[in-house]
Each structure stands twice: as structure tokens, then as C-alpha cells.
Structure 1
Amino acid sequence: MTLHNDTVSRIKDKALWMRRRAFKMVHDAQLGHPGGDFSAIDVIATLYFGVMSYDATQPNLPNRDRFIMSKGHATGALYTVLCAAGYFPESWLDTYMQPRSLLNGHPNRNYLPGVETNTGPLGHGLPVATGIAISGQITGSDYRTFVLTGDGELQEGSNWEAAMTAGHRKLGNLTWIVDRNRLQQGAGTEETNGLDPLDKKFEAFGWDVQMLDGHDHAALLTALTAAPTGKPRAIIANTIKGKGVSFMENKASWHHGVPNADQFATAMKELV
């Protein structure tokens, strides 16, 4: 239990650093998607600092666990976790979205170590992750594949084709996490194209499903380290867009909003 508590404490510290650093990146660049960054950060921090097996000094080790960031616009979350995990120096974060920067608005594996595949067009991550998991199944490899999608992204039919395939093949080495903040660009998901009941839909496709608080590091750690069951695992992480900053929380406008100087100062006071 002590080891578990120590790991949860470490994840919490990393997630706070990621929020502060990602918000500074967005403020300095006056570009980005901070609302979706902040809903996803706790999930991603838990994966990298409590769950996944990897070596940042050898990013292409064959037996590494794989993480696919399907909601590729949330680069503030992805780049800060890769930096914190040791894939590149912190000074690179200062170049975010600048001309000739390696840190584009969407991740590019040709530029940045630790990025498994280019993402940005929504609906691509789960199909790619399913293919990676199938490869591991065929070769008998031990690596696990994790993929994070947004919930608005589930309006893309490619996700459901991949979900059907993964269920059919019983990909126990695949974990799909849905960032269920219930907001997409401009509106709520249920207003745009209702998704509920997500858990029943995933179960019908042959997945083990769990719903939890996507900001509860202990619950995330327990769920993401649970023993495999022989089925692909889907975790519906109920989150808050803009989590941690009062004026951002549950505001669709912060999908791609950028802070002015006063808002940045307020956020830094709240993110402690």
C-alpha cells in the first residue's frame, strides 16, 4: 500500500507540473487547446509515471509499451509528459508552435522521440492502436498498447470499426481510455450527437468496461494496472474540461481558448 501511495503522490506532482507548464506554453504561443489538455493530463501522467514500461533513452525498444494520443490537438498534455519522462529537454517546450519547432500543433513522430504515430485528424488513434495490438498478439510480444481518445471524437465511424475488430480478436493487450469531458469544439457532445450509454455500447462490442473519475489518480492507477482478462479494456474516464482552473472548467470556449496576461496569472495562483 505504501508503494501505491508513493506512486499516486508522484503522479499528482507530475500532473501539477504538466498543467502549469502546458498553460505557459499555450500562453507564450497564444495557440493551443488547454481545455482538452487539462482534462487529459491526469490520465496521461498516470500512464507514464505509474503504469507503462518504457526507456526514454531508447524510444524504439521493441518491447516498450505504446501510447497513442488520438486527440492529437492536446499537445500541451503530450509534450509535457514526454518531457517529464525524459524524452527531450525542457528547453524544447519553450519553442512550442514556433517556426521550425519540433513541437508542432499536432504530434509528428518524424520530429519528436516518444511519439508513436502522427495524430490530429480525429478517429485515427484507435485503429492504429488496434493494429499495433494485433501485431503484438501475432508475435507473442509482451508489450501493451494504450490509446486515449476524446469523447467528441467517437462520432468518427473508424473508432467503431476498430472497436469491433479489437473485440472480435480479444485483444487483451489493448486499453482504450475515453476522455469523457462531455464537451467538444463549440458545444456539448450530447447536444451534438448523443453518445450515452457508452459503457453498454462498448460491452456489446466485446470489451471489458470500467467508468471512473478521470482525475482520481489512485482509481486510474488501480484500473490501468489491473490484470488482463482476455478482452480489450475500455476505461471511460469522466473528466472536466479545463480541470484545475476555475474560469476554464466546463467551458467549451476553452477547447482552443488562449489566456491573456491576467488569466495566466490567475491560473498560476490556482495551480498549486
Structure 2
Amino acid sequence: MEESTFLKRKAIEIRMDFVKMIYEAGTGHTGSSLSNTDILVALFYKVMNLDPKNPKWGERDRYVQSKGHAVESYWAVLADKGFFPKEELKTYSQFQSRLIGHPNNKVPGVEVNTGALGHGLAVSVGMALAAKKDSKSYRVFTLMGDGEQAEGSIWEAAMAGAHYKLDNLVGIIDRNRLQITGSTDDVLSNEPLDEKWRSFGWEVIEVDGNDMDQLVDVLSETPRVTGKPTLVLANTLKGKGISFAENTVGWHHHVPTKAEFDQAMDELSKQLEVFV
């Protein structure tokens, strides 16, 4: 199977894994996880230098999920990659499970606890600066939400990243244009988002965040400019992959009913058949 086909199939399989996980647990951020799945698959299966058998390997690329609420796709990817057994996905959000509703660094593959929005980029700046000071070659990738851009700490970290010329730092915005209470334009407009990041000293690349080939091409080429951090503005569709969830604000934190779950799995199964 060619690599592009493998990655596209994998993204559908990951969606099926975590939609089932959310349905069985009765909780989860379904729409947000569906929008960021392709980004995570591109990073973990192609772009980043990782060793699931040695998750603390010093030369590994670092990943920080700043939009921590969209953790379900992250758990499914880590399990599929072998950071922990896939059977453990069944414990999601159960009593004493380490697979909680936000990234938890007791889980192999998770660098830092996240959840309070606006913190992940600042932590990533510190990691990237440490790599520079230690003469290490690893890169640091951090995934942010577009609603998260309303947090002032994002812009403090953006200034620091440019000031220290952290060309080993890659910020990614899951630009699905919806947040928990409505569209980003209605809640607090962040346009022109690309120009704002450029004005803070970052190299900005815009990409279709649900197009696997584009994602792999762009993310594999980061960092793009010596002496500048890179911001990938990934235009995505909230609820991607499930027709009745796509671009629907109500699916930010919605658990499928039995009928919705059955329809979702049927749709995803048919998408897989295209790649048989």
C-alpha cells in the first residue's frame, strides 16, 4: 500500500476508534477531535521522529496538544502507535483511568499536562529554547485551537518564540472556525489571523488541514525559514468525516446517540472501502 493511501486509511480508522470510545464512555469532544485527526496522523505516522518503545528518547521530536480538550484523537493515535495497549482505550474517562478528558503526562507519549487553553505554546517555546541551548536537533510541534487565539498568553509566547529565533518550533492552528459557544467570528473575531502571526515574526503557511497530502508536504518541510518559528494555519472542518456533525457547533462536546453512532460508523466504514 502506498504511503498516501496508508495515511488516509489510518485517519479514518482513528476516527472510528475514538468515536466508539466517546460513545461507550458517554463523554468527549467529538467535533474537535474529528477536525484535528488528519493533523495528528500526519505528524505521528510520517513527520515526527519518535520511538514508541522509548518514549523518553532524548532526540525525539516533541508534541504538545495545547487544545487539550480534543484529546480523544490523541489517545487513539498513541494507542495505535504502540505507546500503550489499545485495550486501554476502553477505560477512557472511567474511575482511576489515566486516559482522562485532557492530555495526562502519566501516559507515554504525552510531554505535558494540558487543558487550560493558552498554555501549550508557552511550554513549547521553553522546550524549543532548551533544544537550542543543549545543541539538540529535535523539533517541537504544538497544536492550538482557533478559539484559543483569544488567550493573551498565546501572543506572549509568540513574541518569545520570534525573539529567540526558534526555528525548531512549529505552531499549528486547527482552524475549524467554531468553538464551544459559536463561531470564532461571532465570539471574538481573530481575523486577519495570518497577518497577525506574521506581524509577530513567524513564518506562516496556510494549508487544507483535512488534506493528508498537503499536510504531509507542508509539515515535512518545517521549519521553513532559518531563524524564525513556523505557524501552520490548518483550515479544517469541525466534525470532519461524519456528515451530520460537520461544521456544526453543537458537536463541539456532543456524545452520539445510538442512532447517530450507528450512522457515523456506517459512514466511516464506507469511506474505508474507497481505499480497499
Q: Per the shorter chain, which TM-score range?
A: over 0.9
> Where does 1:83-232 land on structure 2 (aligned, <5 Å)?
83-109=79-105, 111-226=106-221, 228=223, 229-230=225-226, 231-232=228-229
Aligned residues: 267
- Give the counterpart of 1:39 among 35, 42, 59: 35
- When structure 1 is superposed on structure 2, of 179-188 and 6-15 the one drifting more is 6-15
Distance 1:254 1:227, change over 3 A: closer
Give me the whole-angstrom Cα distance separating, in 2, the residues matched to 1:184 and 1:25.
Answer: 22
Decide whether the 8 Å contact of 2:71 with 2:102 is kept in 1: yes
- When structure 1 is superposed on structure 2, of 224-233 and 179-188 the one drifting more is 224-233
Equivalent AA in structure 2 for residue 199 of structure 1: D
Equivalent AA in structure 1 for residue 77 of structure 2: V
Determine the structure 1 residue equivalent to 2:5. 9
Give me the whole-angstrom Cα distance separating, in 1, the residues matched to 2:203 and 2:2.
Answer: 28
Q: Secondary structure at the match of 1:67?
A: strand
Equivalent AA in structure 2 for residue 198 of structure 1: L
User: Is 1:18 the counterpart of 2:18 in the alignment?
Assistant: no
- Give the counterpart of 1:73 among 61, 69, 72: 69
Give me the whole-angstrom Cα distance separating, in 2, the residues matched to 1:55 and 1:247.
Answer: 37
Determine the structure 1 residue equivalent to 2:249. 252
Decide whether the 8 Å contact of 1:53 with 1:65 is kept in 2: yes
Decide whether the 8 Å contact of 1:8 with 1:221 is kept in 2: no
Determine the structure 2 residue equivalent to 1:233. 230
Equivalent AA in structure 2 for residue 232 of structure 1: P
Decide whether the 8 Å contact of 2:170 with 2:222 is kept in 1: no
Give me the whole-angstrom Cα distance separating, in 1, the residues matched to 2:3 and 2:229.
Answer: 25
Q: Runs of at least 4 residues of structure 1 off by over 4 A?
A: none
Q: Secondary structure at the match of 1:134?
A: helix
Give how far 1:10 is off.
Answer: 1.9
Distance 1:104 1:227, change over 3 A: closer
Equivalent AA in structure 2 for residue 100 of structure 1: Q
Give me the whole-angstrom Cα distance separating, in 2, the residues matched to 1:76 and 1:105.
Answer: 8
Give me the whole-angstrom Cα distance separating, in 2, the residues matched to 1:268 and 1:186.
Answer: 27
Give how far 1:227 is off.
Answer: 5.3
Q: Deviations over 1:41-77 (max 9, x none)?
A: 0000000011000100110011100000111111111
Give me the whole-angstrom Cα distance separating, in 1, the residues matched to 2:209 and 2:79.
Answer: 22
Q: Deviations over 1:168-215 (max 9, x none)?
A: 111110000000000000200010111111111111111110111001
What TM-score comes out, normalization by structure 2 length? 0.95
Determine the structure 1 residue equivalent to 2:50. 54
Equivalent AA in structure 2 for residue 86 of structure 1: G
What TM-score comes out, normalization by structure 1 length? 0.96
Equivalent AA in structure 2 for residue 259 of structure 1: P
- Structure 2: unaligned runs, 5 residues or longer: 270-276
RMSD over equivalenced CA pairs, Å = 1.0
